[in-house]
Structure 1
Amino acid sequence: MDSASSSIGIRRAGPQDVTAVAELGAHVFTVTFGHSVSAEQLQAYLNESYSISATAKEVADPMKDMIVATSGDGAIVGFALLTRGSNEPCIAHLESTIELQRIYVHPSNHGNGVGKILVKKLEDIAKERGFQHIWLGAWEENFKAQKVYEKLGYRFVGDHVFTIGDVVQTDLIMVKEL
């Protein structure tokens, strides 16, 4: 582990984190996906998915586990979400699945192992809860993320449509046995 990742703390997100997570989520989504949709469609999606109220709802949802990664000074530099009860047709034949969502790391911390730490922690939580498989969707144009997930043991099993406004995109579905 390098010095940057050794100073990263991981903890469950709480109400005190909602504003920072909402801001980070909106920023990372904009940087990663904003070029692929119109400004109006992007803003509508951000309002729906990364508002304070939407983020507070996710933090409080008993079917979700949100964790945050913090730097040495306590600033939130990443977050990730584990969701029970979601489904995906291409993995319907698998028993005991849980979804890994929104592995978001501030761009200034890319390459420091923060995302891997978040993924590992959520995989551990999924195992503790008795799940046998963990799955995620990765945007078909996010090659960097796909390579990271492959290195972490995820494999491609299908795809699904992800819509933002009137823009239809494809997410590649990846799964890992726990």
Structure 2
Amino acid sequence: MMTTIKKCTLTDVHDLQTISVETFTETFKEHNLPEHLNAYLEKAYNLKQLQQEIANPSSQFFLVYFNEDIAGYLKVNTDEAQTEAMDDDSFEVERIYVKRKFQKHGLGKLLLNMAFELALEQKKKKIWLGVWEDNENAIAFYQKKGFVQTGAHSFFMGEDEQTDLIMTKTLQ
């Protein structure tokens, strides 16, 4: 088993779009109306939107490969790129997704550990993320990694308002 992580550049935008749509659909398809899911996918993962996000110096994307296959990805934000107003000491994990067939291989842990390293390199004191309130596996994973719920915010899937828990971990 060979695992590698590669920072995304604009040349990776098609691969990023493919893995984004695939993992988001796998995760949320059975819990949402198709029209709400499709509206979200079109808005969040169109090529122009992803190109803008990759080009933002306060955001970074990373692809994780399992052998030769793209197995998942990570998106992190600082400063004004964070999806919630946070202080300058905060570092956001906006997206962390692994394809179902590659789960249980430690890839989520690998990506999250990378986020911890990036946050510490940038002298951040807190790392935070939003997770859907009904995603029990993800919530348990983050709790095991030392995150605690510190708030909640609305997340819209098309016109359907859902709740994401905001979970935060203080870094040493």
Q: Scaled by the length of structure 1, what TM-score is found?
A: 0.88
Deviation by residue 1:133-155 (Cα, 9 ceiling, x = unmatched): 00001101100001111111111
Equivalent pairs, count: 169
* Other-structure match for 1:82: 76
* Residue pair 1:21, 1:76 contacting (<8 A) in 2 also: no
* Other-structure match for 1:66: 61
Q: Pick from 13, 16, 20 the counterpart of residue 11 of structure 2.
A: 16
**Are residues 1:124 and 2:117 paired?**
yes
Using the alignment, how far apart are the partners of 1:126 and 1:32 within structure 2?
Answer: 26
Report runs of 4+ in structure 1 exceeding 6 Å deviation. none
Q: Scaled by the length of structure 2, what TM-score is found?
A: 0.91
CA shift, 1:14, in A, is 1.6
**Are residues 1:133 and 2:120 paired?**
no
* Residue pair 1:95, 1:133 contacting (<8 A) in 2 also: no
* Other-structure match for 1:57: 52
Q: Which amino acid aligns with 2:14?
A: T
* Residue pair 2:83, 2:94 contacting (<8 A) in 1 also: no
**Are residues 1:160 and 2:149 paired?**
no
**Are residues 1:112 and 2:105 paired?**
yes
> Percent sequence identity over matched residues?
31
Q: Pick from 136, 139, 154 the counterpart of residue 143 of structure 1.
A: 136
Q: Which amino acid aligns with 2:74?
A: A
Change (3 A) 1:87 1:22: closer
In structure 1, stretches of 5+ residues that fail to align are none
State the Cα RMSD in Å. Answer: 1.6
* Other-structure match for 2:26: 31
Deviation by residue 1:58-98 (Cα, 9 ceiling, x = unmatched): 2221110111111222x321111111122647xx5x66111
In structure 2, stretches of 5+ residues that fail to align are none
Instruction: Give the SS at the match of 1:137.
Output: strand
Instruction: Give the SS at the match of 1:153.
Output: coil
